[in-house]
Each structure stands twice: as structure tokens, then as C-alpha cells.
Amino acid sequence: MKDKTLVAVSVVGYLVLVAGVAALIRFHAAIAVGPVAQGVQILGVALMIWARLTFRRRSFHVGANPTEGGLVTTGPYRFVRHPIYSAIVVMLAPAVATHPYWQSLVAGGVVLVGIAIRIAAEEHLVRQRYPEYADYAKRTRRLVPYVF
């Protein structure tokens, strides 16, 4: 697939992800119920902040265009290749689990589909830009350390 097509696919993935999150907000299911579930959500926020700080001043792109400056493999990127997407899952899983209605389950599934689309496009683009990504991918998991 050409780079422009992959960037367009990544934008679709982003829009799908945002639509899922918006649906969770619309159905009042984005905030978990109970102190344990909310504590897990706070851990997700902390992971996202850690990942953004590690990524430094590199800008966020709606399209998954790899940025200049080399491959980031420090901070949470030592453990997973996509800690920001991991953080989204950690933030939203307790919300969906504590609001087990069909709308929140579908919205949570939509978020996961958006993340999967983004990851597929991003990994292909980053592999092309940074050849060392192949070795990095062999020693780290996508979303869950040591598992997936």
C-alpha cells in the first residue's frame, strides 16, 4: 500500500476511535463506576501522560505520519510499542465493564476497531521510515507488555 493510502486509512481509524469515545460519552458510559475501576482509569491517564512526555515535543498527527527525530524506545515505549493506545484501553475498559449495556459494549468495540486500524497503518509507515523498527518490534509487544 502506498504511504498516502496508509495515512488515509489511519485517519479513518482515528475517526472510528473518536466516534467510539464520543458514543461512550453520549451514553454516559465514559467514566467508570466505583473506586477500583476509577483508579484503573487514573492509571490509564498516568500512562498516557508518561507516553506523551516521553514522546516529547513531537506533534500529534491525525494521519499516522512518522515524525522526525528517530524511533522512541524509552519510557513506556520500552515495554509496548503503542502506550497511548494501551492507555486508551486502560481508561475505557473499566468504563465499559461498569456500564455493561449493549450501547457501551458496541462503542467500546468501535474504539478497539479504530485502535486496530491505526496500529496496522502506523506500524507499516514506521517500518518504512525507521528500519530499526523491525528489531524493536521483536522485543516489545503492541499493547500489553509480555502478552500482546
Cell numbers representing residue 13 in the block: 481509524
Q: What is the pLDDT of residue 47?
A: 97
Report, as an integer, the average pLDDT of 58-76. 84
**Residue 59 in this model has a pLDDT that exceeds 70:** no
Residue 3 banded pLDDT, cuts 50, 70, 90: confident
Q: In a 3-state reduction of DSSP, which class is residue 80?
A: strand
Report, as an integer, the average pLDDT of 7-22. 96
Which ranges constitute the DSSP H helices of the chain? 3-26, 35-55, 83-98, 102-129, 133-139
Q: What is the pLDDT of residue 2?
A: 84
Q: Are the beta carbons of 111 and 20 closer than 8 angstroms?
A: yes
Query: How does the average pLDDT of the chain come out, rounded?
Result: 94
Q: Return the domain boundaries, the chain.
A: 3-58+70-139
**Residue 93 in this model has a pLDDT that exceeds 80:** yes
Q: What is the pLDDT of residue 56?
A: 79
Model pTM score: 0.93
Report, as an integer, the average pLDDT of 102-124. 97
Q: What is the pLDDT of residue 57?
A: 72
Residue 58 banded pLDDT, cuts 50, 70, 90: confident
Q: CA torsion angle for 93, 99, 100, 101 (degrees, to 10)? A: -130
- Give the distance, in angstroms, between the CA of residue 106 and the centroid of all CA atoms in the same chain: 18
